[in-house]
Structure 1
Amino acid sequence: MTTLESNIRRALDILLPKIKERHQQSSAPIILGITGLQGSGKSTWASRIVDILSSEHQLYTITISLDDLYKTHDDLIAQRDKDPENKLYRTRGQPGTHDEQLAGTFFKDLKAYTGEGELKIPSFDKSKFKGEGDRAPEPDWPTITKKPDVVVFEGWCVGFQPLPAASIEEKHNLALSGKLPVNTPAQHELAHVLEVNENLKRYCDVFMGPQHFDFFIHIDTDNLRNVYTWRLQQEHKMIEVKGTGMTDDQVRAFVDGYMPSYEMYLDKLRDGLFEDKGRLVKVVLTKEREIERVEQL
């Protein structure tokens, strides 16, 4: 068994009895959120958990990624061009680059779905427009014809919660003073960081707040600089397979786009997501992506 497989099973085994108990109590789909730092392997976690729950525990499980809820290419360009000075929106990724109406409608339809007819799962094609991406045509979206027992919803900022404006300003000032782990918020104007926070607030209200999840897995590390190492390793492996990919400098710039939100919002998530304890499992990884510790919050 690989280290990654062992990590996944160790975390999932903690939640399995509770997932099965919830399944016996309610016919509603169980929403399991997964968030993880860039390079931590969260997408692999999500797909493997789908396999384990479906094949070993007879729980019909599907997955959807936050990435599949992006706006259309035209809307992403409009978002980017709205404020050319806002570097956080030069590419897709931040809260504000996803289609909140599409997300809200999908999860509403999911909860109401009885298994009659088809339910389409939104899909985004990252290969379109030379990597800028666009929403896949609706006829190409994956469909299900059976009511799922578990839905794994994964994404890099899933589980992040907005902060009071004063807290955002305080963290921004700490970054300007060089007192955060990486200090990336200092690369951006306060107004631009606050815009992300406002967008995140709407996300949480509509589809991504604690009230929308039953259980949660948070893949974390004690040293945020590990993220750069992990993402570089991923890119180097992809280059070995495909023969092309980003340069090391491009990878660092890519991670820099996500790091401000890690530095802003991870502290709150690390304290837990739910008021009642025991529904969130936090997995803290070492630089080598081995488990340092597992916590129930």
Structure 2
Amino acid sequence: MATSAALEAVVALAGRLVAPGARLAVLGIAGAQGSGKSTVAQGIKARMDARGVPCALLSIDDLYLPLAERERLAAEVHPLLRTRGVPGTHDVALGLAVIDALTRGEPAPLPRFDKARDDRVTEANWPRAPGATRLLILEGWCVGARPQAEEDLAAPVNRLEAEEDADGRWRAYANAALAGDYQALFGRIDALAFLAAPDFAVVERWRGEQEAALRRQSGDGAGVMDAAQLSRFIQHYDRITRHMLAETPARADVVVRLREDRSVAGVADRGSRDRVPTDPQR
């Protein structure tokens, strides 16, 4: 994976956010599954650590609701909500609480989710962000996403939607969630970097590589998918990923366009935008 050009572009963006004397800034990093978000985020944190800038990492995947809560949603709202993925399957309030604590300058526990178990890690095992953290990196596949217009939800985009959400209830629920509390969470982002896949067709292969790494780490245990399971799973992310590929580049602060091998085809940096707020009540 060639991430050096992507890393340098986003590091420059992060550097503009952590000006001396500024309070907590939140850097969003978005991109399809397997696009290299975690690698870039970890690289930025390493750079910030080397500079002595207190920095913390939070993935939106670590905000997934516990399995029991998703099973409740599956029973009460729609069966597809058992599967982690779309808006409506995250604990947005938990993410906001982390940001609020860090904004106050307090240390904060950072949630963690075990994908191999498909459940949240016990809170006692969460790492802690330090007090006086100046940069929080919030990364994830749908970070910064905006809802679709209601009329765009009518036609299914794949077999999963056509066969398992024929009446559109699931995608309408996810879209309504995205239009609600998720916008409050994403509204806390001071700058957004977007790693743009060439199209959605490559995402299943990229996500398959992640699954292979998880299998090497955890074996063929619970939560590790075979090819057929992965193909169905990735369809949960199809609609919003395509929507983001179409509309996010026009508004992201940095856009890194990727080729199929995840090398960098080009970088668009919209320049320094001093969007770090000075109002502590924000």
User: TM-score normalized by structure 2?
Assistant: 0.83
User: CA separation in 1, counterparts of 2:112 and 2:209?
Assistant: 27
2:153 is aligned with 1:168:
yes
Percent sequence identity over aligned pairs: 25
Matches within 5 A, 1:59-78: 59-78=53-72
CA deviation profile, 1:166-221 (whole Å, cap 9, x unmatched): 3433xx27x4xxxxxx786545332321111101112333312xx31111111112
Q: Work out which of the residue numbers 250, 263, 269 in structure 2 matches 1:271.
A: 250
Alignment of 1:40-189 (within 5 A): 40-55=35-50, 57-84=51-78, 86-87=79-80, 89-113=81-105, 115=106, 118-127=107-116, 131-134=117-120, 136-169=121-154, 172=155, 175=157, 185-186=161-162, 188-189=165-166
Q: Residue 96 of structure 1 aligns to a residue in which SS?
A: coil
Secondary structure in 2 aligned to 1:3? coil
Are the structure 2 counterparts of residues 97 and 9 from structure 1 closer, same or farther at C-alpha, using a change threshold of 3 Å? closer
Decide which of 24, 32, 51 is 2:27's aligned counterpart.
32
Q: Report what 2:273 is aligned to.
A: none
Q: Offset of 1:50 from its aligned partner?
A: 0.7
Q: Secondary structure in 2 aligned to 1:7?
A: helix
Task: Give the 3-state SS of the residue equivalent to 1:246 in structure 2.
Answer: coil
Instruction: Give 1:157's aligned amino acid.
Output: C
Given that 2:110 and 2:126 are in contact with CA atoms closer than 8 Å, whether structure 1 keeps it comes out as: yes
Deviations 1:13-64 (A, max 9, x none): 54255224xx2352x2110001121111212221121111221x33221101
Q: Which residue of 1 aligns with 2:171?
A: 193
Write the distance in 2 (CA, Å) between the matches of 1:122 and 1:207.
15
Determine if the alignment matches structure 1 residue 291 to structure 2 residue 267: no
1:229 is aligned, of 161, 182, 205, to: 205
Q: Is 1:282 paired with 2:274?
A: no
2:196 touches 2:255 (CA, 8 Å); kept in 1? yes
Contact 2:146 2:183 survives alignment (8 Å): no
The higher-RCO structure (CA 8 Å, 6+ apart) is 2
CA distance in 1, matches of 2:217, 2:114: 20
8 A Cα contact 1:91 1:132, kept in partner: no
CA deviation map 1:117-161 (0-9, x unaligned): x4222233334xxx2313x33332212343111110011111101
* AA at the equivalent of 2:169: A
Output one character per residue of 1:268-295: Cα deviation in whole Å (capped at 9) or x when no partner.
212214xxxxxx1111111111001111
Q: Report the Cα distance in structure 2 between the residues aligned to 1:249 and 1:99, rounded to whole angstroms.
A: 28
Match of 1:179 in 2: none
**More helix by percentage:** 1
The unaligned stretches of length 5 or more in structure 2 are 271-282
Structure 1 position 91, deviation (Å) = 0.8
Contact 1:32 1:213 in 2 (8 A): yes
* Structure 2 match to 1:9: 7
Pick aligned residue for 2:240 from 261, 268, 290: 261
- How far apart, CA to CA, are the structure 2 residues paired with 1:13 and 1:48? 8
Shift of 1:96: 0.8
SS at match of 1:225: helix
Q: Deviations over 1:99-132 (max 9, x none)?
A: 222222222222112x4xx4222233334xxx23
> What letter corresponds to residue 131 of structure 2 in structure 1?
K
Alignment-derived partner of residue 274 in structure 2: none
Q: Work out the CA distance in 1 between the residues paired with 2:162 and 2:269.
A: 33
Whether the aligned pair in 2 keeps the contact of 1:184 and 1:260 (CA below 8 Å) is no
**Closer/same/farther in 2, CA of residues 147 and 224 from structure 1, 3 Å limit:** same
